[in-house]
Structure 1
Amino acid sequence: MTDPFIALVEDLGGPGPLEGLRLAVKDLFDLAGTATGAGNPRWLETHAPAEADAEAVALLRGAGARVVGKAITDELAWSLNGSNFHYGTPENPAAPGRVPGGSSSGSASAVALGLADIGLGTDTGGSIRVPASYCGLYGLRPTHGRVSLEGVVPLAPTFDTAGVLARDAHTLRLAMAVLLGEPEEAHAPVTRLLAPRDIWDELPAATRDAVMPAVEALGLEVDTTPFFDDPHFGLEHDGAAGGVTPLESARRAYAALQAWEAWQAHGAWIEASRPEFEPGVKARFANASKLVGADVTGAQRVRSGVVALVRDRLPEGTALAIPAAPGPAPLVGEEPDREAIVRLTCIAGLSGAPGLALPAGTVEDLPVGLQLVAAPGSDEVLLALAGSH
């Protein structure tokens, strides 16, 4: 295990609602005067120092937060594990000997270790929600587009979001209020939780037993109606015969679209710069380079179906309640079940919806988190639920 920071920063902070709070910045966000490394030494070598802070960093600094360091990220943010081939695996004090989750690994580790109060991260396919679950933290993936990504290295732009991790709901709400600004419209408070049995039934029993009490503890109506029994949903985007659940079809669509966008964003740089990647990231980019238009067209149809489902299943006053990860953090060096993770995180990603991760319980004394997803634009409603947790 290693220190969560790749570089420490001297910053005195200033007055504002975040005064006195320490900020760890994921190494995808520009800090004026330093080069952004995106978790890869070759990226660092081939990019000049930033001329200005990323807008999210500037907002948090402007509100009084004090930057304490640039935090490790998984390479180009394309991993959910939290280990980095070049810089090491940041410590997870809530689960010693286990990964912190990625790709906002250093931000989560710094907050969990008490070295920072706010961890600025990104979430494309779960990179805030999964570390929050593994480290026993609070985290929000905001509605897509609500927080500026100016000055942030992309992975898959139609999925990328910027949010924060914190040890408590109050700090999460303070920091996210700064990043979100004023909502365009008010949303009704959540009075009903949808905990669909077609998703919960696929989970390990230990995770169900640990997380469901946290759902019930919110004191709201709980509905277990299946999520995916909708005729507008395209079951399979690849035309494969039988045996693929709608949830798996959604995961496959997410994976294809993310890979397509990642190659569009970074393929030219990879071919020109020949970076060294850890094996998993290398394989994902290699596979992404082989995708064709038909893969994307089919996946987009499934994505449209998920958007329609979220609109229908999560009206005003309703939130989806599912685990943030299928179980506790894997041991360092253990291969995670990436597909099982993405089945839980892809609904928010495909629909652009906000996803809140809350500490929920433990499996064999290791943290597991609850994920709440609401209609796009309902970030403040979810943050209010965090405060009642």
Structure 2
Amino acid sequence: MNGLLGRAGGALGVPLALFVGIVVVALLATTGPASVERLAVGGLVNVVLVVGLYVFVGNSGVWSFGHMSFALVGGYVAGLLAMPVRLKGQLLPDAPALVRDLHAGPFVAVVVGGLAAAVVAAVVAVPLSRIGGLSAGLATVSLLIAFSVVAAQWQSVTRGQKGLSSIPMGTTMPVALGWVLVALLVAWTYQRSSFGIRLRASKSDEVAAAASGISVPVQRGVAFVLSAFLTGVGGALFALQLGSINPGVFYLDYTFLIITMLVLGGAGSLTGAVVGSVAVSALAEVLRRAEGGSLLGLPVPARPGLADVVLGIVLVVMLLRRPGGLTGGRELRWPRRHGAGDRPPPVSPTASEPDPLAGVALGAGSDSRREDSP
């Protein structure tokens, strides 16, 4: 029995331990004012978005600056599905009948929003998965711009710059925690699967991976679609939390924030994605309050734009001093207890037990110099 529990802990120990830590922080937030709880729910949505980005970037080594376009798709689709039919008839009289007549509950709306983002990603993944480096970064930026323009001009469906409003708010603390757990389990299962291992091998050495029979474009495409699904879910949760969405929500500011979270935490590990999202969410909120003239409850001179400046400085310093992020690309280790019948692992006086994915961790040794990044 102890051996079975040990294997279960080893298989899912990291995402479960991360989830327990997130639950503790969320429960602490519920003891404060309602505004703090709303901020905590927003932080949980950020965790889903960062984990979604990590699934592609962390495993492929190719940076994507256009993932918020999938959050935009997920947010609009979920918002349109969750809005009552009567309200859509008033706000969107020129929309197609399929858009006006369909209605779903919050859970179904979030799932469909994620699936819609995955379908869009499957289409654009065909050309994008064949390029890397600076070309991939520029292509994803153009994708973000294109989706934002479409959302701003499609008056009959998105209401243009006005955006969608009066969306039923269904993203509560338990709902957000449930989707965080799903995102963690999906990301962890993928990176430990044969697909994730092959993609990480291509990140380590693309030429050697292709020579060994790995189809790098296919592996990147799979990760891209799965990543888009989780990002679309995050966008849907965001829309159902605020009750509104517009084309400017998931644009450059939010893109910069999500990338900062992943970089500061450590893009080479799921643990880094979670740590970075929680830490930067808290720091960004403190800085936003300082912009408005309040710092930890004390009056301070208002400094508009302070959050962006400080986050930019922190990002540059981290890239210079600790490129691997706060976690250095390492995963949280699940503690194992050995019973009387268990054989303890051998201990070497010179080296610890090797990690099968250590050779492809982001920023590990010479791999960091071969990583595709713009």
TM-score under structure 2 normalisation? 0.24
Q: Which has the higher contact order (CA 8 A, sep 6+)?
A: 2
Higher normalized strand content (fraction of residues): 1
Normalising to structure 1: TM-score of the pair? Answer: 0.23
Rg larger in structure: 2
Higher-helix-fraction structure: 2
